């Protein structure tokens, strides 16, 4: 099939297009020369220099903190939203709910960022909270848009899993929350992990929302990188960028590996169970 050969070629070309720039970035982060375009031999001095940059390190810690809180909150909220969309039938406002959950996926970040900032300002005037913008407001902003991603991932999983076990437990008189924690949750756990990981990564990466809703003294890592990058390419930024790439790639890969293994185990167990029953 000629058309298939062509698409095969496009797949490889596309993957090269995706990975080459990142590979080049990592290679250049080991460049000894301060001129980023001239190769001056291998060196790790930019990595060593990072540790002395306290401003950057503080931003790293701040971003990791926000990303962790975001991952937890967005996974909880997103799972609830996914349950509502897949397990609870019709209710008043379901269309509105579905719209509110999926719209943040595509909403331009400048709009979400500006509108949330104006909300926080209005709330501070009305009820005196939030007193000052910072980690809390960034966390709220990130949680709101990560919830959308989590609910898409988790609801896809919820639709896939076999519902006969849930129904059997309900028939035997288990309370809905018990069914959820004992039966549904273990089956959808990999998607929850994927959602949490995605929220963590999205939060760690976000520049626009954080710029709008942050306050004095709450500069996140992307904001720090952005203000440095605006001035042009710098070797220190190459180093921190490579570290972030490495960090996220490793976590992504581990997560993918373990969820796949868990999935295979579960399938085998289910298979055993079915043959035993039959």
Partner 1 sequence: MKKLRNKLLGLLPKGRHAVIGVPFFWMLLFFLLPFAIILKISFAEADIAIPPYTSLTAWADNQLTLLLNFGNYVLLSEDGLYLAAYLGSLKIAFFSTLLCLLVGYPMALAIARSDKHMRPVWLLLVMMPTWTALLIRVYAWMGILSNNGLLNNTLIWLGIVNEPIQILNTNIAVYIGIVYAYLPFMVLPLYANLVKHDSSLLEAASDLGAKSYTAFWKITLPLSKNGIIAGSMLVFIPVVGEFVIPELLGGPETLMIGKVLWQEFFNNRDWPVASSLAVIMLLLLIIPIILFNRNQARELESK
Site stretch for partner 1 (CB under 8 A), options 42-50, 135-143, 164-172, 268-276: 135-143
CB neighbour list of residue 235: distance below 8 Å, 6 or more residues apart: 28, 29, 31, 34, 36, 46
**Distance separating alpha carbons of residues 265 and 6, to the nearest angstrom:** 37
Within positions 211 to 270, which residues make up the interface with partner 1, using CB under 8 A?
A: 211-212, 222, 225-226, 229-230, 232-233, 237-238, 241, 244-245, 248-249, 252-253, 256, 260
Does 275 contact partner 1 by CB under 8 A? no
Minimum Å distance from CB 204 to partner 1? 7
Does 99 contact partner 1 by CB under 8 A? yes
Minimum Å distance from CB 117 to partner 1? 8
Does 2 contact partner 1 by CB under 8 A? yes
**Distance separating alpha carbons of residues 208 and 95, to the nearest angstrom:** 28
Does 68 contact partner 1 by CB under 8 A? no
Nearest to 143 by CA among 102, 96, 203: 203
Cβ pair 255, 194 in contact under 8 A? yes
Is the sign of the CA dihedral 205, 208, 211, 214 positive or negative? Answer: negative
219 dihedral zone (left: phi>0; alpha: psi -120 to 50; beta) = beta
* Structural tokens at position 96: 């509105």
Interior angle at CA 212, CA 101 and CA 77, nearest 5? 25
Nearest to 143 by CA among 90, 83, 73: 73
Within positions 152 to 171, which residues make up the interface with partner 1, using CB under 8 A?
A: 155, 159-160
Minimum Å distance from CB 265 to partner 1? 16
Q: Which of 32, 57, 100, 165 binds partner 1 (CB under 8 A)?
A: 100
Site stretch for partner 1 (CB under 8 A), options 51-59, 64-72, 121-129, 183-191: 121-129
| Distances, alpha carbon 193 to alpha carbons 75, 150, 186, 187, in Å | 8, 10, 11, 12
Does 182 contact partner 1 by CB under 8 A? no
Q: Which is nearer to partner 1, 6 or 273 (CB)?
A: 6
Q: Which of 176, 215, 262, 266 binds partner 1 (CB under 8 A)?
A: 176
Q: Which of 205, 215, 262, 266 binds partner 1 (CB under 8 A)?
A: 205
Does 1 contact partner 1 by CB under 8 A? yes
Does 61 contact partner 1 by CB under 8 A? no
Q: Which is nearer to partner 1, 57 or 124 (CB)?
A: 124
Q: In sequence order, what DSSP letters do the residues of 178-215 get, joined into one string?
A: HHIIIIIHHHHHHHHHHHHHHHHHHHHH--HHHHHH--
């Amino acid at each position: 099939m000629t058309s298939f050969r062509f698409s095969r070629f496009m797949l490889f070309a596309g993957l090269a297009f995706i990975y080459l720039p990142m590979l080049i970035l990592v290679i250049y982060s080991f460049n000894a020369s301060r001129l980023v375009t001239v190769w001056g031999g291998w060196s790790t001095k930019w990595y060593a220099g990072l540790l002395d940059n306290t401003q950057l390190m503080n931003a790293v810690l701040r971003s990791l903190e926000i990303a962790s809180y975001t991952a937890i909150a967005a996974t909880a909220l997103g799972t609830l939203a996914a349950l509502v969309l897949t397990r609870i039938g019709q209710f008043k406002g379901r269309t509105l709910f579905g719209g509110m959950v999926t719209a943040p996926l595509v909403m331009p970040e400048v709009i979400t960022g500006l509108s949330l900032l104006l909300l926080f300002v209005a709330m501070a005037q009305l009820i005196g909270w939030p007193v000052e913008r910072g980690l809390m407001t960034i966390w709220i902003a990130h949680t709101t848009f990560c919830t959308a991603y989590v609910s898409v991932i988790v609801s896809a999983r919820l639709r896939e899993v076999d519902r006969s076990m849930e129904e059997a437990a309900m028939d035997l008189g288990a309370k809905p929350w018990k069914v959820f924690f004992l039966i549904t949750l273990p089956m959808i756990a990999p998607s929850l992990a994927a959602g949490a990981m995605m929220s963590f990564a999205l939060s760690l990466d976000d520049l626009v929302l954080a710029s709008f809703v942050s306050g004095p003294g709450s500069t996140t890592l992307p904001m720090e990188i952005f203000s440095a990058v605006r001035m042009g390419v710098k070797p220190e930024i190459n180093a921190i960028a490579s570290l972030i790439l490495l960090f996220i790639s490793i976590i992504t890969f581990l997560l993918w590996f373990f969820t796949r293994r868990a999935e295979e185990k579960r399938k085998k167990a289910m298979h055993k169970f079915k043959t035993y029953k039959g």
